Chains A and B, each alone.
Chain A
Amino acid sequence: MSILINKETRLLVQGITGNEGLFHTTQMVAYGTNVVAGVTPGKGGEWVLDGKIPVFDSVKLAVEATGANCSVIFVPARFAPDAMFEAADAGIPLIVCITEGVPVQDMMRVRNYIDQKGVRLIGPNCPGLLTPGESKVGIIPGNIAIPGNVGVVSRSGTLTYEVLYALKLVGMGASTCVGIGGDPINGTNFIDVLEMFEHDPQTEKVVLIGEIGGTDEDKAAEYIAAHMTKPVVSFIAGQTAPPGKRMGHAGAIIEGSAGSAADKIKALEAAGVKVAKHPEEIPSLLK
């Protein structure tokens, strides 16, 4: 078992004919992901990867023709909100948006809309999902992780790779790795994923990788203390970062003094989580 994606996942790639889209589609297919279709408006009828994957003009047409049940988005930031709305309206239950730089107000509209539809969004500004040995949806390099029993959830992209790689070097593998993305407004938070890992029989331990800003880690700590039976190890990036730019008076009012690495580490440790000093220390804390 794994969470969110597995061998059965039928993947659609939005923005498949773009540079990044095509490159990472090739990588995903090489990994064994079942990529059934691509979408690029205006290029419907073409084929990519030597005629293996059909391109459609719209998500709706792609879903009708191929039964895709997951979409990964590689389109530029200015088109990404529309791509997310389109996937949600076409009935895709799981959307993974890799694109970085999506405006915050767009994301507030997208999030409030898809919540009403019961659609699960991962990202944006995230590396996607990886269930080692089965399926990869996004850009996590496949060769840095092996199958195993550690669930990994992270707000960061490349920092997640460090952790997967450090686990692999000592022979530890991942059940599923979920990059939830680093933007202020995203589709899925730590608690959503912790809950999935808690209920996933394959996952025995969990690694949570957070960073400064926001209160998502603090809420995760509360959730862990109240609901998690599986051990959780964590790393928080930004322990030495200078105090961030403040969002005027209103920002201070909303977030108070929360958001520093020290506060987050304190909250996690109080919840019984072991917090690593650097990412390569994580494997030893999991033993």
Chain B
Amino acid sequence: MKLHEYQSKAIFAKYGIPILKGRVAATADEAKQIAEELGGRVVIKAQVLVGGRGKAGGVKVAKDPDEAAEFAGQILTMTIKGLPVRKVLVDEAAAIAHEIYFSITNDRAAKKPVMIASAAGGVDIEEVAAKTPEKIVKIHIDPLLGLRDYQSRDIAASIDLPRELWRDFSRIAAGLWQAYKDNDAELAEINPLVITKDNKLIALDGKMLIDDNALFRHPDLAEIRDVDEEAPAETEARRHGLSFIKLDGNIGCMVNGAGLAMTSMDIVKLFGGEPANFLDIGGGAGAEKVAAAMRIILADPNVKAVLFNIFGGITRCDEVARGILTAMEEVKPKVPMVVRLVGTNAEEGRKLLENANMITAETLADAAQKAVAAAKG
């Protein structure tokens, strides 16, 4: 789950990381009022959950409250990479002397968190990483020990931070580590961390990604998820514990297991069809979850056929069959359905579906070919 800049920075502030004064506005008038309260120049920043908003014109400096209202009005009508801007952050403007990149993320290969910093911060950090990797410093953190002070000092030294700022930098590093750890972040990023002209360190921007699997222990974070930023079907799927991604094809797919779901998409395409979605009902899905999955698939008007590929392990085929029957009674689907049940309780499942007017298949290739043919009508 992605957090907005304003949400991420509010968390950073709780952990003692210095940020600028500012608030979120949803209208030009609100932006003007915030600018009046802050006084002086302000920065208006689009709050959207995609990168590259600066390059898209979603960040502007306003010299007074009237200009703040004008710019906020413009930005609030923008769409950045397909996402409409619904909120702007109005922050004090800082006098920037230097920009640093600073983050903590999971390094899956090392199986440890890694702290990353670069003296060449700012928007083009990916280019820095690609062209001059030597300008990026990485230090792995032992997840059992946590960040050690010397590691923060080592980072400060290797990005040539002036010595008088080391103490402040270590505090920020400790705060970022704690924010990352306490909130089960997959990424906690400050880009840029600026040195101001009066020689202070301030987190100018902030980004956090939270591990969806850990949201059960962060109800406060789950609550602030911005559902405006995702497709309604994806929100609905998540509510039912389903993993769903909408695609452009016309063959709806319902599969158990992410690997098999991707494989089912691959094989539909291999036989000349186009999948309408990725949908993994997960392990041990019961009838209710299956019914929800089917409603989500059939809500897509592009869907001309549905492929059910269930290989039972922890998931029981008879439970899935019950879900299919429940959903069919409810939605009365008009498109052909191809079903393949193998594995745990497959026979019981097949028996339940005997009179359900579905096309059955034995192998995966057979099922995919039948679904492709059915979608063509």
Chain A: residues with CB nearer than 8 A to chain B?
A: 20, 24, 27, 77-78, 98, 100-106, 108-109, 111-113, 127, 139-141, 144, 154-162, 165-166, 182, 184-185, 209, 211-212, 214-215, 235, 237-242, 247-256, 277-280
B217 in the interface, Cβ–Cβ < 8 Å?
A: yes
- Is the CB–CB distance between B108 and A250 below 8 Å? no
- Is the CB–CB distance between B106 and A104 below 8 Å? yes
B59 in the interface, Cβ–Cβ < 8 Å?
A: no
B270 in the interface, Cβ–Cβ < 8 Å?
A: yes
Residues on the B chain within 8 Å of A182, using CB: 258-259
Residues on the A chain within 8 Å of B344, using CB: 27, 139, 141
Could you tell me the distance between the alpha carbons of A199 and B259 in the complex, rounded to whole angstroms? 28
- Is the CB–CB distance between A248 and B189 below 8 Å? yes
- Is the CB–CB distance between A249 and B191 below 8 Å? yes
Contact of B209 among A156, A247, A277 (CB under 8 A): A247
Contact of B365 among A27, A113, A159, A278 (CB under 8 A): A278
Could you tell me the distance between the alpha carbons of A250 and B191 in the complex, rounded to whole angstroms? 10
Nearest opposing residue in chain A for B208, CB measure = A248
Could you tell me the distance between the alpha carbons of A214 and B106 in the complex, rounded to whole angstroms? 12
Could you tell me the distance between the alpha carbons of A104 and B108 in the complex, rounded to whole angstroms? 9
- Known contacts: A249-B191, A250-B189. The answer to whether A158 contacts B311 by CB under 8 A is yes
Could you tell me the distance between the alpha carbons of A280 and B260 in the complex, rounded to whole angstroms? 12
A-B CB proximity, top 6 nearest: A156-B259, A158-B257, A103-B214, A159-B259, A250-B105, A158-B260
- Is the CB–CB distance between A162 and B129 below 8 Å? no
Could you tell me the distance between the alpha carbons of A141 and B349 in the complex, rounded to whole angstroms? 15
- Is the CB–CB distance between A105 and B108 below 8 Å? no
- Is the CB–CB distance between B108 and A185 below 8 Å? yes
Contact with A along B30-64 (1 / 0, CB 8 A): 00000000000000000000010000000000000
Nearest opposing residue in chain A for B365, CB measure = A280
Residues on the B chain within 8 Å of A113, using CB: 144
Interface residues of B in 145-200 (CB under 8 A from A): 181, 184, 186-187, 189, 191
Residues on the B chain within 8 Å of A77, using CB: 213, 216
Could you tell me the distance between the alpha carbons of A255 and B209 in the complex, rounded to whole angstroms? 16
- Is the CB–CB distance between A20 and B314 below 8 Å? yes
Residues on the A chain within 8 Å of B126, using CB: 249, 252-253
Nearest CB of chain B from residue A72's CB, rounded to whole Å: 12
Residues on the B chain within 8 Å of A255, using CB: 108
Nearest CB of chain B from residue A36's CB, rounded to whole Å: 22
- Is the CB–CB distance between B311 and A105 below 8 Å? no
Nearest opposing residue in chain A for B368, CB measure = A278
- Known contacts: A112-B112, A239-B266, A279-B263. The answer to whether A141 contacts B313 by CB under 8 A is yes
B245 in the interface, Cβ–Cβ < 8 Å?
A: yes
- Is the CB–CB distance between B259 and A158 below 8 Å? yes
Residues on the B chain within 8 Å of A161, using CB: 311, 313, 342-343
- Is the CB–CB distance between B191 and A278 below 8 Å? no
Could you tell me the distance between the alpha carbons of A249 and B41 in the complex, rounded to whole angstroms? 29
Residues on the A chain within 8 Å of B263, using CB: 156, 159, 162, 235, 237-238, 278-279
B26 in the interface, Cβ–Cβ < 8 Å?
A: no
Contact of B103 among A112, A154, A242, A249 (CB under 8 A): A249
A-B contact pairs, 19 of them (CB 8 A): A105-B184, A108-B112, A112-B111, A127-B314, A139-B313, A154-B259, A156-B259, A161-B343, A214-B108, A237-B263, A248-B189, A249-B125, A250-B187, A251-B105, A251-B187, A252-B129, A253-B125, A278-B266, A278-B365
Q: A159-B260, A215-B109 are known contacts; what are 8 more A-B pairs with Cβ within 8 Å?
A: A108-B112, A144-B342, A158-B257, A158-B313, A162-B311, A214-B108, A238-B266, A248-B187
Residues on the A chain within 8 Å of B143, using CB: 105, 108-109, 112
- Is the CB–CB distance between A103 and B213 below 8 Å? yes
Contact of B262 among A98, A139, A184, A237 (CB under 8 A): A237
Residues on the A chain within 8 Å of B257, using CB: 156-159
Nearest opposing residue in chain A for B105, CB measure = A250
- Is the CB–CB distance between A144 and B343 below 8 Å? yes
- Is the CB–CB distance between A184 and B112 below 8 Å? no
Nearest CB of chain A from residue B53's CB, rounded to whole Å: 13
Nearest CB of chain A from residue B370's CB, rounded to whole Å: 14
Could you tell me the distance between the alpha carbons of A167 and B315 in the complex, rounded to whole angstroms? 22
Nearest opposing residue in chain A for B346, CB measure = A141
Residues on the A chain within 8 Å of B187, using CB: 247-248, 250-251
- Is the CB–CB distance between A249 and B189 below 8 Å? yes
Residues on the B chain within 8 Å of A139, using CB: 283, 313-314, 344
- Known contacts: A144-B343, A158-B259. The answer to whether A241 contacts B105 by CB under 8 A is no
Could you tell me the distance between the alpha carbons of A144 and B344 in the complex, rounded to whole angstroms? 10
Could you tell me the distance between the alpha carbons of A196 and B105 in the complex, rounded to whole angstroms? 32
Could you tell me the distance between the alpha carbons of A131 and B104 in the complex, rounded to whole angstroms? 41
Residues on the B chain within 8 Å of A241, using CB: 262, 265, 278
Nearest opposing residue in chain B for A116, CB measure = B144
- Is the CB–CB distance between B217 and A78 below 8 Å? yes
Residues on the A chain within 8 Å of B363, using CB: 166, 280
- Is the CB–CB distance between B313 and A240 below 8 Å? no
Nearest CB of chain A from residue B153's CB, rounded to whole Å: 21
- Known contacts: A109-B143, A140-B313, A240-B269. The answer to whether A162 contacts B260 by CB under 8 A is yes
Could you tell me the distance between the alpha carbons of A110 and B169 in the complex, rounded to whole angstroms? 30
Nearest CB of chain A from residue B178's CB, rounded to whole Å: 13
Residues on the A chain within 8 Å of B96, using CB: none
The interface centre, meaning the residue of B51, B104, B343 with most chain A CB atoms within 10 A of its CB, is B343
- Is the CB–CB distance between A237 and B207 below 8 Å? no
Could you tell me the distance between the alpha carbons of A185 and B109 in the complex, rounded to whole angstroms? 8
Nearest CB of chain B from residue A276's CB, rounded to whole Å: 10
